[in-house]
Amino acid sequence: MSKVTAKYQVTVPIKVRKELGIIPGMEVDIAKKGNDFVLIADPVTMIKHKWRGKFAGKTTTMEYMDEVRGKLN
């Protein structure tokens, strides 16, 4: 069982962290399902959502990597 801190933080038990693949800094969601609340952790979807459209119509991945590495055309 977890305890809520004075800052309303909750520690996720290690068994749950391992099963859901939760790592530090990862975003999770809490959703209501009927009378219960569930913790939603899907790192693949989170990563896809974060990067979706990042390069759309701007640059290719290689151009972006050259820019990050400081290589100029």
CATH assignment at residue 37: 2.10.260
- 55 and 26 share one domain: no
Give 67's contacts (C-beta < 8 A, 6+ positions apart): 59
Give the residue among 41, 50, 52 at the shortest CA–CA distance from 17. 41
Asked if 59 and 36 sit in the same domain, the reply is no
> Which one is predicted more confidently, 66 or 35?
35
| Residue type at 43 in one-letter notation | P
One domain, residues 47 and 29: no
Please write the tens of the pLDDT for every residue from 46-60: 677 777 777 677 777
Per-residue confidence (pLDDT) for residue 50, from 0 to 100: 73
Domain range for 52 is 43-73
Residues 2 and 33 in one domain: yes
Domain count within the chain: 2
Q: Domain check: are 30 and 57 in the same one?
A: no
